[in-house]
Structure 1
Amino acid sequence: MSTLISIVVPVYNKENYVSRAIKSALAQTYTDFELIIVDDASTDRSMQKVAEFKDSRIRVLHRPQPGPGGYAARNYGIREARGSWIALLDADDAWFPEHLTQSMRIASEFPDISIVSAARMSDVGGTKKLDPFAKRFIDHGPQILYLSDYLEFACKGLRAMGTNSILVKRDALYRSSIFPEGRTERSGDLYTWVELLARMKRMVWSPHVASISYRQASFVSRNSVPSMRLFHEMVSDLEPYIDEKQSRILKRYANKMVKYAWLEMNKINSPIKPSELRRCFFWEVDLFFCSKWFLISLLPFEFLESLHRRYSLSR
């Protein structure tokens, strides 16, 4: 007897893409699933596109107002899920047909592990490439990762989890609201992956390519930004579930995410005072990194951008 999977797809104004995402879910070779479409108060024709699909496995839920990042919509879908596993898919991306089949095969090989992830592909302006973690490990077979492993790789830009590749056992979830709704506009999924591992202790990564994410090469501006405060608070949030060694690695990762959030906020002309960056850093675990970026924050951001452009053109 197969296991029911609940696929959660948040939708906010994705009329040009949502049909592609739904088709990729319905085309899965693993067929025992429910497809939960969560309308995040779309104002375009997204729901008309959804209504064109006549499949008994599709359930449509509605929220009265949109939430940044789709975090509230994902949490709502998870609360309403009936399956033994939760799978996530963004409305503007797509799965490859064997994703769920391969994920459940890996899950059966590692029955004591509650998180399954896989390789991911991106399409940026027509150029396709594997995610950096997959590039390194796709020929090495399944990988079991603990929190420290995940963080060490993530600090190097190699993340083993992504929204379109992850499956989580529903019974193993510590709560239904796993995404940080109300705490950040963007990059809250990066917080969630760390919390899942901190609480569930380990994951298994599968070398199959799960998904393809579509991005336009010309897309550079964003209206939403990550939260420096969220990544600082991540350490105190998770310290009850981790040991001292993991805490040090988590603080180093938090420093990198705080720096990332600071850069993104400055890019949209929402400058942050250097004193705020200083307070969000964990200086005791990486004095050089924190000192370097604090000193950089004292410079005009326009000057930093010009240096970055000059360096990029010279490469």
Structure 2
Amino acid sequence: MVIPNHNKEKTIRACLTAVYAQTHTPAEVVVVDDASTDRSRQIVADFDCTLVAFPVNRGVSAARNAGAARAGGDVLLFVDSDIALAPDALAVALRTLREHPACGVVQGIYDLHPLYADGPVESYKTLFEHFWRRRDAGLATSTMFALTAVPRDVFELVGGFDERLRDAEDIEFGTRLPASYEIRTSAQMVGRHDDVDRLWPYVSELFRRALTYADAVVLARWAPRPVPEPPPDGRAPHRVDRASVAGLLGSALAVATVPLFAVSPWLVAVPLGLLTVFLVADRELLTFALRQRGPAFLLYATAMRFLTHLTEFAGLSIGVGRAFVRRLRPGAARPAALGARR
């Protein structure tokens, strides 16, 4: 088991306690501390695990790669240090890999409730993450590595994580997974996550991930491929969530068309119509919020979802624009993949 950590003294004890309470005892536990400045290392010392300590901060990709290099065994289970696994999470992961020999990645979902309840921002974020991960349970087309198991030979074949990336590195990993391997999301593999709980850090995280996603995933879909296309019976490419795209465009264009009201009051119908597109596109999530938390939370979740779309639209737009400019400069394009672990 590999646990990357940076300044998570609030959650690392709960994370490790849950790890050692697994019904299937992990063969070993490797914590990679990415130059924490809090009490994380002292807390880790209370557990019988291997600690790899970075002298300088290198990012989660480097931490996961270092943990995988240090760990033995045929299966690597990655779990973030702000997650407390359900007692049977490891057993579920191993059973899934055993029952599906073509599976190269099995990833879990977040519990509906956070590890620690720290306010409405976290409540929304946790509900959203739980909803879309559970909805996509089964065969998936993209990878997430907050709580994910990978056979070692598959991890080494892919080449590990791109250490240049500090956001969207888990999604980028999946773009290099050979199409002959399945990606599975298991709704029985669960962890309680201590998520971001303040508005500005939440928006900043969204924006950074959108910037990276634009270059590492969106434009990579159209980049020249150095290897032949996967066979017709291989795994489908990274799926575009059309409802999310519709909600994102509806939200952004609704804001952009508000000035039409100054031309004619009748033109207010344009942004209102686009707002309707946003609401229809996200109706499943919003209905789930209403069912779980009631009408007041529904209004809050609607506003948060609208803000999420606007932030992601801004990040994707800037990221795609910057990436295109960079790729027009000879020799300036960022390689889309790594050939070997770093």
Q: TM-score, structure 2 length as denominator?
A: 0.60
- The alpha-carbon deviation at position 10 of structure 1 amounts to 0.9
Amino-acid identity (%): 22
Look up the match of 2:154: 172
- The alpha-carbon deviation at position 65 of structure 1 amounts to 1.2
Q: Deviations over 1:87-109 (max 9, x none)?
A: 01111111000101122222222
- The alpha-carbon deviation at position 47 of structure 1 amounts to 0.3
- The alpha-carbon deviation at position 38 of structure 1 amounts to 0.5
Look up the match of 1:39: 33
Structure 1, unmatched stretches of 5+, are 1-6, 152-158, 282-315
Question: In structure 1, what is the Cα distance between the partners aligned to 2:38 and 2:54?
Answer: 15
Question: In structure 2, what is the Cα distance between the partners aligned to 1:217 and 1:265?
Answer: 22
| TM alignment of 1:104-115, pairs within 5 A | 104-115=94-105
What letter corresponds to residue 3 of structure 2 in structure 1? V
Look up the match of 2:131: 132
| TM alignment of 1:44-193, pairs within 5 A | 44-53=38-47, 55=48, 58-68=49-59, 70-123=60-113, 125=117, 127=123, 129=127, 131-136=130-135, 143=138, 145=139, 150-151=140-141, 161-175=143-157, 177-182=159-164, 184-193=165-174
Question: In structure 1, what is the Cα distance between the partners aligned to 2:41 and 2:111?
Answer: 27
Q: Kindly indicate whether the alpha-carbon contact (under 8 Å) linking 1:229 and 1:280 is maintained by their aligned counterparts in 2.
A: no
What letter corresponds to residue 62 of structure 1 in structure 2? A
- The alpha-carbon deviation at position 36 of structure 1 amounts to 0.3
Instruction: Kindly indicate which of the two structures has a greater share of residues assigned to strand.
Output: 1
Pick the structure with greater CA Rg.
2
Question: In structure 2, what is the Cα distance between the partners aligned to 1:262 and 1:237?
Answer: 30
- The alpha-carbon deviation at position 115 of structure 1 amounts to 2.1
1:276 aligns with 2:333: no
Look up the match of 1:16: 10
- The alpha-carbon deviation at position 275 of structure 1 amounts to 4.6
Q: Kindly indicate whether the alpha-carbon contact (under 8 Å) linking 2:11 and 2:194 is maintained by their aligned counterparts in 1.
A: no
One of 195, 215, 230 as aligned partner of 2:176: 195
1:213 aligns with 2:193: yes
1:240 aligns with 2:227: yes
Question: In structure 1, what is the Cα distance between the partners aligned to 2:219 and 2:319?
Answer: 18
What letter corresponds to residue 15 of structure 1 in structure 2? E
Look up the match of 2:215: 229
Query: How many equivalent residue pairs?
Result: 247
Q: Deviations over 1:99-124 (max 9, x none)?
A: 01122222222234332223332545
Question: In structure 1, what is the Cα distance between the partners aligned to 2:323 and 2:185?
Answer: 34
Q: Kindly indicate whether the alpha-carbon contact (under 8 Å) linking 2:92 and 2:189 is maintained by their aligned counterparts in 1.
A: no
Q: Kindly indicate whether the alpha-carbon contact (under 8 Å) linking 1:41 and 1:64 is maintained by their aligned counterparts in 2.
A: yes
What letter corresponds to residue 194 of structure 1 in structure 2? T
Tell me: CA distance 1:273–1:75, structure 2 relative to 1, closer, same or farther (3 Å). closer
What letter corresponds to residue 276 of structure 1 in structure 2? R
- The alpha-carbon deviation at position 189 of structure 1 amounts to 1.2
What letter corresponds to residue 167 of structure 2 in structure 1? R
Q: Deviations over 1:197-216 (max 9, x none)?
A: x4553133333042121224
Q: Deviations over 1:17-54 (max 9, x none)?
A: 1111111111101014211000111111110111122x
What letter corresponds to residue 230 of structure 1 in structure 2? A
Question: In structure 2, what is the Cα distance between the partners aligned to 1:168 and 1:101?
Answer: 14
Give secondary structure in 1 for the equivalent of 2:43.
Answer: helix
Give secondary structure in 2 for the equivalent of 1:65.
Answer: coil
Q: Kindly indicate whether the alpha-carbon contact (under 8 Å) linking 2:158 and 2:173 is maintained by their aligned counterparts in 1.
A: no
- The alpha-carbon deviation at position 60 of structure 1 amounts to 0.8
Q: Kindly indicate whether the alpha-carbon contact (under 8 Å) linking 2:215 and 2:319 is maintained by their aligned counterparts in 1.
A: no
Tell me: CA distance 1:46–1:134, structure 2 relative to 1, closer, same or farther (3 Å). closer
Instruction: Kindly indicate which of the two structures has a greater share of residues assigned to helix.
Output: 2
Question: In structure 2, what is the Cα distance between the partners aligned to 1:52 and 1:231?
Answer: 40
Structure 2, unmatched stretches of 5+, are 250-307, 328-342
- The alpha-carbon deviation at position 265 of structure 1 amounts to 9.3
Give secondary structure in 1 for the equivalent of 2:215.
Answer: helix
